[in-house]
């Protein structure tokens, strides 16, 4: 059975905050609310689109109006790959793992359509055996069933799989699904979120090296 590496997307493979912040700030401007900077936006990423919008409005002392989430989603979907960039070493590392026979899959709380569009725009779609988005299944991270369903879609098994991500949701979901988790320290989550992870990686190349050791 081939080895499988499940990967978070935002903050693990791609720095998506520039485009998330731009779409969020267009939404804020349309509601006469102050904008957010990079760090503020990064701190709100990881729980999906609805929670991002809810957190943003809460930070401004408001609750989202009835159309806010839909407006943000539609805007972001068409501007998801304007300024978003791969983290250093992502493409070459994924190519190497694929050449070694690994199955790769994305498990993200981002809507599946936006995730696929982003992966395609940045040249990563060709590496992925499956994409499990935040709306692909009835549940999403930190529910381990999200990870289990993505793993199944990729044709992998838990005994030969590992997860990598930059958020506590990744660690919790992986443990619940019976997978070791590599915490991506270069991403958006503070390192305190790494509690319970099998290892902490400082960059994408190190992540792959750890994955090879965890699933020999």
- Axis crossing angle, helix 144-153 with helix 168-177, rounded to the nearest 10: 70
Nearest by Cα to 107 from 140, 155, 156: 140
Q: How far apart are CA 141 and CA 191, in angstroms?
A: 18
Nearest by Cα to 212 from 168, 175, 161: 161
| Burial class of 66 by CB neighbour count within 10 A (0 to 12, 13 to 18, 19+) | exposed
Tokens of 201: 């990686």
Q: The tokens 């994408």 sit on which residue? A: 204
Is 131 in contact with 141 (CB distance < 8 Å)? no
**Catalytic: which of 8, 10, 19, 170?**
8
Q: How far apart are CA 164 and CA 140, in angstroms?
A: 16
Handedness of CA 138, 142, 148, 154 (dihedral sign): positive
Per the annotation, the verdict on 15 as an active-site residue is: no
The residues that are catalytic are 8
């Amino acid at each position: 059975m081939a080895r499988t590496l499940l990967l978070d997307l935002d903050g693990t493979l791609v720095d998506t905050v520039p485009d998330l912040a731009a779409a969020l700030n267009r939404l804020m401007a349309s509601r006469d609310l102050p904008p957010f900077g990079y760090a503020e936006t990064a701190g709100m990423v990881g729980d999906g689109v609805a929670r991002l919008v809810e957190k943003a409005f809460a930070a401004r002392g408001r609750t989202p109006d009835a159309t806010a989430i839909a407006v943000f989603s539609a805007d972001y979907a068409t501007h998801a790959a304007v300024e978003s960039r791969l983290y250093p070493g992502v493409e070459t590392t994924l190519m190497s793992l694929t050449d070694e026979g690994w199955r790769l899959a994305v498990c993200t709380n981002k809507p599946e359509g936006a995730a696929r569009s982003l992966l395609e725009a940045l040249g990563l779609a060709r590496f992925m055996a499956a994409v499990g988005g935040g709306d692909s299944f009835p549940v999403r991270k930190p529910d381990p069933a999200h990870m289990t369903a993505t793993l199944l879609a990729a044709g992998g098994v838990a005994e030969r799989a590992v997860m990598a991500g930059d958020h506590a949701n990744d660690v919790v979901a992986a443990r619940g699904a019976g997978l070791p988790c590599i915490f991506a320290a270069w991403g958006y989550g503070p390192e305190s979120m790494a509690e319970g992870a099998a290892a902490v990686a400082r960059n994408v190349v190190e992540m792959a090296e750890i994955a090879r050791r965890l699933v020999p």
